[in-house]
Amino acid sequence: MAVPLLDLKAHHEPIREEIVRALEETFASNQFILGPDVSKLEERVASYCQARYGVGVTSGTDALLLSLMALGIGPGDEVITSCYSFFATAGVVARLRAKPVFVDIDPVTFNIDPTKIEAAVTSNTKAIIPVHLYGQCADMDPILDLARRHGLAVIEDAAQAIGAEYRDGRRACSMGAVGCLSFFPSKNLGCLGDGGMIVTSDGDLAERLKILRVHGSHPKYYHKWIGGNFRLDTIQAAVLNVKLNYLDGWTKRRQDNADRYRQLFQQSGLLKKGAVRLPDAVYRESGVKHHHIYNQFVLRVERRDELMAHLKRKAIGAEIYYPVPFHLQECFQYLGYRGGDFPEAERAARETIAIPIYPELTMAQQTEVVDAIASFYG
Ligand SMILES: *Cc1c(COP(=O)(O)O)cnc(C)c1O
């Protein structure tokens, strides 16, 4: 039995009619640009994230880019971020001709190691972008403290972490100056194409973001700033207004799947053998339900590349997030980093593999995945 890494058909099937109705209503309304569907989604997502304002944008990448623009980041500025994330996190910094400054990760959470940030701060540092990788918050308290001491803006990259809770239950996007979400179909809340949102509780910043989203036009055809077209499509907002109603249920199922993997791997003997290490949810405090929302379930394994090939032969979906840390990417060679600079990220890039965790995954499929991995290690 093949097990895909993600099954969007199974994901959408139970709510197919509701989604089609939303699409038809948008089509009939002839309102395709912004409008009530977008405003409604902005309010709902902001509130879901424990923040005041949402600004719907074209993608998660553009959420990050527009946030940096609104904060005035540009040439000569330095922005500190994790060296281990999806490319967009660092790409947006370089696109604004600012300098990405990388910091190694914590080996347990795969998130930026807060103890290593201070050494990367210079007089040119303007902002920090912590990434809540795989659905678990970065260790925000020390990051927020450091940012306060140095007067730096904190931009949360929460593309993989909508609703994830830190320590006492503070949600991703509620802690920094802004939080950035992606509605790419493989994220926990995905639309039918590209989409994203910036979340903030700063009213002035929200206003600036909304103006920059429409070419900096305010009032119409008068431009104080140079923005761009960064609007979230109305039709995607209409779909997301349906899907948001189900998000908590999906998150719960991802968490249940994670618990079930813990049992299955325990029974398999692979943990004791040391062949496989499971991801840790480190902020598992009482009363906090969404300590990890498992956008990905990432294992640390022995002989990773061979295991990957084995799973491929068995038609088990798996992926490597990410095979090359930023400091070793060809396009960032001009920054002057070298192999060995960030040993934890380099080790993660060699040792990790993501296996299916999507909400519709069945017990039988999970057993299949674990059996396939067990058969590899013999
Ligand atoms: C997906 C992702 C993005 C970019 O989002 P898009 O909607 O694909 O542009 C940025 N950062 C991280 C960590 C992501 O996973």
Whole-model pTM above 0.95?
A: yes
Category of 343 on φ-ψ map: left (φ > 0), alpha (ψ -120 to 50) or beta:
alpha
Distances (CA, A) of 4 to 15, 208, 368: 20, 42, 11
196 lines ligand 1 (CB under 6 A): yes
Spacing, Cα 181 to ligand 1 middle (Å):
8
Cβ contacts of residue 216 below 8 Å, gap of 6+?
A: 223, 224, 225, 226, 227
For every residue of 151-207, DSSP letters joined together read T-EEEEE-TT-TT-EETTTEETTSSSSEEEEE--TTSSS--SS--EEEEES-HHHHH
88 lines ligand 1 (CB under 6 A): yes
In the DSSP assignment, the letter for residue 259 is: H
- Six-digit token string for 46: 């902001």
Domains along the chain with CATH numbers: 8-245 (3.40.640.10), 248-377 (3.90.1150.10)
pLDDT for 221 equals 95
Spacing, Cα 11 to ligand 1 middle (Å):
20
What does each of the 378 residues of the chain score in pLDDT, given as a tens digit? 899 999 999 999 999 999 999 999 999 999 999 999 999 999 999 999 999 999 999 999 999 999 999 999 999 999 999 999 999 999 999 999 999 999 999 999 999 999 999 999 999 999 999 999 999 999 999 999 999 999 999 999 999 999 999 998 999 999 999 999 999 999 999 999 999 999 999 999 999 999 999 999 999 999 989 999 999 999 999 999 999 999 999 999 999 999 999 999 999 999 999 999 999 988 877 677 789 999 999 999 999 999 999 999 999 999 999 999 999 999 999 999 999 999 999 999 999 999 999 999 999 999 999 999 999 998
- Determine the number of helices (DSSP H) and then strands (DSSP E) in the chain: 13, 12
Spacing, Cα 170 to ligand 1 middle (Å):
21
Nearest to 184 by CA among 162, 166, 155: 162
How many CB atoms lie under 10 A from the CB of residue 49?
Answer: 27
